Structure 1
């Protein structure tokens, strides 16, 4: 007998990214085997970077902090995003066996349809209207749970988005546009009457339509000891910035799946440590690449040997490894 899925809707009442990300991780840790959670939240004046990104390169964090903003780093991979109260964040949280990207995206697309806007999924992680993005998506998996989260631009300050985010010229040119501002669109630019309340209502109705029944709406105690401990993690310097040493050598390239930078610290002809920065969605694999190269001789053929040892890779992971191996084989090291 197949167990019935229980659904919950949780809405955060605070606009602090460190608290909201702590609640998100807490929900991922606590989700039961046959439960699907829709978590809705907002951050004010915030830049959130991907798990493996270099904070110094992705965001003008000093400008952001001088203007009362906060820098945060999330669990998932992908690129940097700007959040304010004109943006709504959503997170689907569930056991891995219930993870269904198509089903989750349907919730968002149907919600937008309810307010009279036609949209579609495009590329590796974007929801678009025409050729402009209004929602970026990212994913994270732990041993048992799955998390899919993203943004919905409703009436965000795109001037601040352009000012705080330092998108590489290579990334912009690969999309055929000349600025980060020209790549995105607010729902309010498409439908003048759209409101935050209408989008939230649409998300809740669509969630119930897709998953069936009426989801319970519950609250989370932000003073829970586990959440308070996670807030300390997300607000810490080590988590947000990390230790970025002076590299002996750094190489980088943009691929179809994202940008990759390898920063090497060398000792006696071997890789003493390597820092890997990337906006790739496969955040776990990116971190494994770095770990796998440590202690290896600083030679392309030796590094390639270490990279191709991995087994049990998904199709996307196999593509990444193949691309990196080809890149290293063409690089003089």
Structure 2
């Protein structure tokens, strides 16, 4: 596909409401055209956003956040919990799936940051860092013919609030080799003290257009420009954000290099009648498929291994499946 023919668009949200901004993100995702890529820039005020399969009660001090006037939001993509305030700029690349190229998309962010004289790099499974500390986490979502890749750019986020509202497991901190989430992240203002959100927007727009081609003036979307009522209702609903919190008969928990797993089973006469997996793994769809595969199976390792072997998965997910098989085989035998 010729890069010269790619259609480009830049969209700003003028809202700071996370439920509205996530609704707009999904709206743009469903509207993206063949051979088009959209750069969507947005900000949330005093918000914790959790990954598609995460347990809000374990990731966020939800009551404290809401008492302080903050909001909990859940996105479509996998990955871990993040705190947003107006010192953070969110970006989303929304595109025809044939255009998906993670390294090229990340080059937009790295190119923009580097053009400011800040030396940034891509490290780990989804982080952009400066001097070993993360200023941007990234997550991804795919459907048949569309994809999006979104992330954060920490310009001057309130680090105290990050520690106040996020509660990260000791196992995850140990895996990262740090003492706290605050010690692992950094603001770009630590490198460039006068950096503003507007300047960051400008440099990302320039970098985007230099890589993908010039486009018309950015669209500024305000509440009421599109009918997002159905999507807004979804993202603001209790069921979407918190979901059910069943009393499981059996809970198994571990951490792999690719993410943590908390597997909960509800049983009736030895059969699994409900299966829930909480995880910060990046592949949200795969985690849901694994969870669904256990339904109506007898609780023994042979049955659960058959369930996992029945899944049709991509080559890049084989390692995850193999890790799950070995863990399930050992843990269920021990039950």
Residues 112 and 118 in structure 1, CA contact (< 8 A), matched pair in contact too: yes
1:156-171 paired onto structure 2 within 5 Å? 156-171=157-172
Task: Please tell me whether residue 54 in structure 1 is matched to residue 55 in structure 2.
Answer: yes
Residues 14 and 220 in structure 2, CA contact (< 8 A), matched pair in contact too: no
Give the deviation of 1:144 after TM superposition: 1.6
Give the deviation of 1:308 after TM superposition: 1.1
Q: Could you say which residue in structure 2 is the equivalent of 1:329?
A: 329
CA deviation digits over 1:62-96, x for unaligned, max 9?
Answer: 00000010000000000000000000000000010
Q: Could you say which residue in structure 2 is the equivalent of 1:319?
A: 319
Question: Aligned equivalents of 1:321 and 1:214: distance in 2?
Answer: 42
1:131-146 paired onto structure 2 within 5 Å? 131-146=132-147
Residues 260 and 277 in structure 1, CA contact (< 8 A), matched pair in contact too: yes
Q: Could you say which residue in structure 2 is the equivalent of 1:256?
A: 257
Q: Could you say which residue in structure 2 is the equivalent of 1:8?
A: 9
Question: Aligned equivalents of 1:84 and 1:250: distance in 2?
Answer: 34
CA deviation digits over 1:100-150, x for unaligned, max 9?
Answer: 101100000001011110101111100011210000000001222100000
Query: CA distance change for structure 1 residues 8 and 216 in 2, over 3 Å: closer, same or farther?
Result: farther
CA deviation digits over 1:204-226, x for unaligned, max 9?
Answer: 00000010223442233632664
Q: Could you say which residue in structure 1 is the equivalent of 2:302?
A: 301
Structure 1 residue matching 2:140: 3-state secondary structure = strand
TM-score (norm 1): 0.97
Q: Could you say which residue in structure 1 is the equivalent of 2:123?
A: 122
Unaligned 5+ residue runs, structure 1? none
Q: Could you say which residue in structure 2 is the equivalent of 1:278?
A: 279
Task: Please tell me whether residue 36 in structure 1 is matched to residue 37 in structure 2.
Answer: yes
Question: Aligned equivalents of 2:123 and 2:164: distance in 1?
Answer: 25
Question: Aligned equivalents of 2:281 and 2:77: distance in 1?
Answer: 9
Structure 1 residue matching 2:244: 3-state secondary structure = coil
Question: Aligned equivalents of 1:167 and 1:215: distance in 2?
Answer: 42
1:221-236 paired onto structure 2 within 5 Å? 222-223=223-224, 226-236=227-237
Question: Aligned equivalents of 2:201 and 2:318: distance in 1?
Answer: 38
Question: Aligned equivalents of 1:293 and 1:109: distance in 2?
Answer: 41
Residues 158 and 181 in structure 1, CA contact (< 8 A), matched pair in contact too: yes
Unaligned 5+ residue runs, structure 2? none
1:169-180 paired onto structure 2 within 5 Å? 169-180=170-181
- Bigger drift between 209-218 and 143-152 goes to 209-218
Structure 1 residue matching 2:80: 3-state secondary structure = coil
Task: Please tell me whether residue 107 in structure 1 is matched to residue 118 in structure 2.
Answer: no
Structure 1 residue matching 2:228: 3-state secondary structure = helix
Question: Aligned equivalents of 2:71 and 2:145: distance in 1?
Answer: 31
Question: Aligned equivalents of 1:222 and 1:35: distance in 2?
Answer: 24
Question: Aligned equivalents of 2:216 and 2:149: distance in 1?
Answer: 18
Question: Aligned equivalents of 1:281 and 1:316: distance in 2?
Answer: 12
How much is the aligned-residue C-alpha RMSD, in angstroms? Answer: 1.3
Query: CA distance change for structure 1 residues 215 and 207 in 2, over 3 Å: closer, same or farther?
Result: farther
Give the deviation of 1:310 after TM superposition: 1.6
Q: Could you say which residue in structure 1 is the equivalent of 2:291?
A: 290
Q: Could you say which residue in structure 1 is the equivalent of 2:241?
A: 240
